């Protein structure tokens, strides 16, 4: 058909938008996103790629799943807490709690009396129950905010004593020492990159000292001629010890023996512990503050606390993470390698004859969330490396990891109920 006729035959925008299915989509997604899909379908019709009667169907097929553009991604990278994939995936229980809390909710109201209630009291109670060693608990927006709040409340214009080997960069240029200085604390560095002793701290502590900071190097390991001072010894100094444990393990974990936990740090005498909620705890992005009751109360009442206040969706997800079934991160940490390998074999059997696939044992990592150097026994499906891009740009996107010329789809962070989704995605990428 000549260009001019195709133009004339292309259905008009108002006619297409009047289609009942597209009107229903507009109610769900908003007029603008639906109109964009319609415009794209009309362009294809004008170009001769679509018949006029196919425009509505093409627009419907092109609609986004939600009004937000973030996509669900299958994490087959073999990194359990993947920073670029949003760290911890929430449990189904946490997602359900978020959905309920999204509307008007009693986050700050006591329904029994009709009076104002303590904001997030049930999430805070769940956290307090999970760490009985803590006299008080508080929750802010993220781990950095937790440390900033402690520093603003205790150390503005004063000094924080910290070991040189613990002046760490977490990622994306975020450096703990710069955070402390940015809110007005002075740093007093002690020791060398690889070694520090209690005597170094003791010599640095004076009347200007607000606290001693113990930072967990959560993304690297120093090996060889090294020494650091545990919280237990730092607690003998005449100033409070603040422990930034980072990963958010609440109690010691058998598979992660080197990873500090809030319970252990408090038992050893830390006055306050700070941590992230979306690393090893497996919850929403938030910052946990646990410690001596009076100190935590002071922090929670500090004017700066409002600036890092956590929202109701986070409180809902955190409570469900703590009270509900084991979240995905915690499940992945204890995954059984033989079970993962069985899943890999089943997937390979399903793919037999369509693509060169092999089930194999693999080694997964905890990731940006902590436990550097810990190897988690896992299993993967190995595919030709050329599939990496079609899988990443497919629907749903699948992120694997290319090594030794092959694409490994590691199963440790893929929930078993998603195996069929993974299989469909691979078949689509292969084109069968
Ligand atoms: C991750 C981490 C932080 C920062 O926490 P965010 O939740 O990312 O703000 C601070 N300290 C340590 C030791 C960490 O591992």
d(CA 155, CA 271): 14
Residue 244: CB within 6 Å of ligand 1? yes
Using the 3D structure, point to which of 310, 325, 340 is the last residue of a domain. 325
Using the 3D structure, point to which of 296, 325, 354 is the last residue of a domain. 325
* 43 C-alpha to ligand 1 centroid (Å): 47
Residues 349 and 420 placed together within one structural domain of the fold: yes
Q: Which residue, among 418, 385, 419, has the nearest Cα to 402 in the 3D structure? A: 385
Which CATH number is 127's domain given?
A: 3.40.640.10
d(CA 9, CA 265): 72
- Per-residue pLDDT of 155-178, as tens digits, reads 999 999 999 999 998 888 899 999
Residues 247 and 396 placed together within one structural domain of the fold: no
Residues 403 and 282 placed together within one structural domain of the fold: no
Residue 10: CB within 6 Å of ligand 1? no
- Per-residue pLDDT of 371-411, as tens digits, reads 788 999 999 999 999 999 999 999 899 999 999 999 999 99
* 364 C-alpha to ligand 1 centroid (Å): 21
- Per-residue pLDDT of 401-422, as tens digits, reads 999 999 999 999 999 999 999 9
* 275 C-alpha to ligand 1 centroid (Å): 7
* 190 C-alpha to ligand 1 centroid (Å): 21
Going by alpha carbons, the residue nearest to atom 12 of ligand 1 is 246
Within-domain flag for 185: yes
- Per-residue pLDDT of 84-143, as tens digits, reads 999 999 999 999 999 999 999 999 999 999 999 999 999 999 999 999 999 999 999 999
Residue 241: CB within 6 Å of ligand 1? no
Residues 369 and 392 placed together within one structural domain of the fold: yes
d(CA 342, CA 360): 10
DSSP state letter for 166: G
d(CA 48, CA 50): 6
Ligand 1, atom nearest to 276 Cα: 7
Within-domain flag for 161: yes
- In contact, 210 and 160? CB cutoff 8 Å: yes
Number of structural domains, the chain?
Answer: 3
Residues 123 and 258 placed together within one structural domain of the fold: yes
Residues 132 and 277 placed together within one structural domain of the fold: yes
* 429 C-alpha to ligand 1 centroid (Å): 36
The whole-model pTM stands at: 0.94
Q: What does each C-alpha distance from 294 to 8, 41, 134, 243 come to in angstroms?
A: 75, 63, 11, 17
Residues 155 and 304 placed together within one structural domain of the fold: yes
Going by alpha carbons, the residue nearest to atom 14 of ligand 1 is 246
Question: Above 70 in pLDDT, residue 256?
Answer: yes
Going by alpha carbons, the residue nearest to atom 13 of ligand 1 is 246
Residues 128 and 78 placed together within one structural domain of the fold: no
Residue 143: CB within 6 Å of ligand 1? yes
Residues 184 and 38 placed together within one structural domain of the fold: no
pLDDT score, position 369:
64
Going by alpha carbons, the residue nearest to atom 2 of ligand 1 is 246
- Per-residue pLDDT of 29-40, as tens digits, reads 999 999 999 999
Structural domain that includes position 39: 3-62
Residues 278 and 349 placed together within one structural domain of the fold: no
The model's confidence at residue 318, banded by pLDDT at 50, 70 and 90, is very high
Within-domain flag for 67: no
Residue spans of alpha helices (H) in 134-215: 143-155, 176-182, 198-204
Residues 245 and 383 placed together within one structural domain of the fold: no
Residues 35 and 164 placed together within one structural domain of the fold: no
């Amino acid at each position: 058909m000549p260009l001019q006729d195709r133009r004339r035959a292309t259905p008009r925008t108002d006619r297409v938008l009047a289609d009942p299915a597209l009107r229903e989509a507009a109610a769900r997604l908003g007029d603008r996103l639906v109109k964009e899909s319609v415009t794209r379908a009309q362009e294809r019709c004008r170009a001769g790629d679509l018949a006029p009667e196919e425009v509505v169907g093409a627009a419907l097929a092109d609609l986004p799943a939600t009004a937000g553009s973030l996509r669900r991604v299958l994490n087959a990278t073999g990194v359990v807490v993947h920073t670029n994939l949003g760290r911890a995936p929430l449990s189904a229980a946490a997602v359900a709690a978020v959905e309920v809390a999204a509307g008007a909710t009693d986050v700050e109201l006591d329904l029994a009396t009709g009076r104002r209630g303590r904001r997030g009291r049930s999430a805070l109670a769940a956290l307090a129950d999970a760490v009985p060693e803590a006299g008080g608990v508080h929750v802010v927006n993220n781990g950095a905010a937790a440390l900033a709040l402690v520093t603003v409340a205790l150390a503005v214009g004063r000094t924080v004593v910290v070991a040189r080997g613990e002046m760490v960069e977490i990622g994306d240029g975020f450096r703990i020492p710069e955070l402390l200085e940015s809110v007005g604390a002075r740093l007093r560095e002690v020791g060398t990159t690889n070694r520090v002793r209690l005597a170094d701290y003791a010599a640095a502590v004076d009347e200007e000292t607000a606290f001693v900071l113990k930072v967990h190097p959560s993304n690297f390991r120093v090996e060889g001629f090294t020494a650091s001072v545990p919280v237990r010894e730092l607690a003998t100094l005449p100033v409070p010890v603040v422990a930034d444990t980072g990963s958010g393990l609440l109690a010691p974990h058998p598979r992660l023996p080197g990873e500090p936990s809030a319970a252990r740090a408090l038992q050893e005498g830390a006055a306050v512990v700070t941590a992230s909620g979306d690393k090893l705890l497996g919850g929403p992005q938030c910052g946990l503050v646990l410690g001596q009751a009076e100190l935590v109360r002071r922090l929670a009442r500090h004017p700066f606390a409002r600036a890092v206040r956590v929202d109701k969706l986070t409180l809902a997800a955190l409570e469900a993470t703590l009270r509900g079934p084991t979240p995905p991160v915690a499940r992945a940490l204890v995954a059984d390698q033989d079970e993962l390998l069985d899943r890999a074999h089943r997937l390979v059997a399903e793919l037999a004859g369509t693509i060169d696939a092999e089930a194999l044992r693999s080694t997964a990592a905890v990731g940006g969330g902590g436990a550097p150097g810990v190897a988690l026994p896992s299993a993967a499906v190995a595919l030709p490396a050329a599939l990496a891009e079609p899988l990443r740009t497919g629907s749903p996107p699948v992120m694997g990891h290319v090594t030794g010329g092959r694409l490994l789809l590691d199963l440790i962070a893929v929930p078993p109920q998603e195996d069929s989704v993974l299989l469909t995605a691979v078949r689509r990428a292969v084109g069968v």
